[in-house]
Amino acid sequence: MVRDLSTTLCGITLKNPVIPASGTFGFGLELSGSFDLNVLGGISLKGTTLEPRFGNPTPRIAECEAGMLNSVGLQNPGAEALVRDKVPALRRIYGGCIIANISGFAVDEYAACSKVADGSPDIDIIELNISCPNVHGGGMAFGTDPAAAAEVTAAVRKATSKPLFVKLSPNVSDIVAIARACEDAGADGLTLVNTFLGMRIDIGTRKPVLANRTGGLSGPAIFPIALRMVHQVSKACRIPVMGCGGVARARDVIEMMMAGASAVQVGAENIRNPYACKEIVEALPDVMEELGIECLSDIIGCV
């Protein structure tokens, strides 16, 4: 029996739900010589700001037993280069869903960057990263306050006609309140979760391992928490969810979809194994057969 791996996001059909998460797959081009990118349901591109950014000082990466910490600092060539160079080059070799991940440090910056991305016919979805610190709001991330999350979502909603997904920070006490605020402000979908704030110390030098002291924790360690948040938000909101956080194998994809995710992003596992997404896609039909699943979309939110 042929297994149906397809899913939809805001009317966009994906051949399967597997999407490399932003920041773990570059702009797609970096791995184009390793395997055919067209096996992927979608690609979330490296986080992009309005102006080019060099990023944080090194070291930026710290290993953990069940994941990794990163503090890259949004190193990217800027929105104009994204639209002019990166996306057209990717579209020439990739026919799936292209997701532009947009970041910023002020509401008008988010809106301006999204407007640039909106001008690209090859970008299918805008993914708004609201984990950035609000420079006009005391440095607290947009995604930790419902009012701030709603404000930036509403501003970007006016700047683009493309489907808008908001990527939520898990570093909050009530993620449902943030999710509902984004939905009410015009978000078409939600991506969750981003990384958890963490730290490692080199006990030999008695200094933080990361130059920035703290960074975002990702990898298998966070999967159960991310799964819980996906389940909570998918039950509380009417818009589709892309699940993300600690996904490393086909069974994790199935679990995320049962929790309510319409598509699933793979993050840190791409750093450990650049072929992770390809291998997950290839393994899905066998897992579906084992579990008696004919169509993946049938299990979305079944728990």
**Active-site residues: which are they?**
132
* CA atoms of 21 and 297, how far apart (whole Å): 20
For residue 70, the surrounding DSSP H or E stretch is strand 67-70
Q: Are 233 and 192 in contact (CB under 8 A)?
A: yes
Comparing CA positions, the residue from 74, 28, 70 lying closest to residue 54 is 74
DSSP assignment of 227-278 equals HHHHHHHHHH-SS-EEEESS--SHHHHHHHHHHT-SEEEE-HHHHH-TTHHH
Q: Are 68 and 61 in contact (CB under 8 A)?
A: yes
| The dihedral sign for the CA sequence 147, 149, 150, 156 | positive
* CA atoms of 191 and 106, how far apart (whole Å): 20
Measured from the Cβ of residue 122, the count of other Cβ atoms closer than 10 Å reads 15
DSSP-based three-state secondary structure for 5: coil
DSSP assignment of 145-167 equals SHHHHHHHHHHHHHH--S-EEEE
* CA atoms of 181 and 229, how far apart (whole Å): 15
Beta-bridged to residue 198, according to DSSP, are 215
Measured from the Cβ of residue 126, the count of other Cβ atoms closer than 10 Å reads 24
Tokens read off for 66: 């069940």
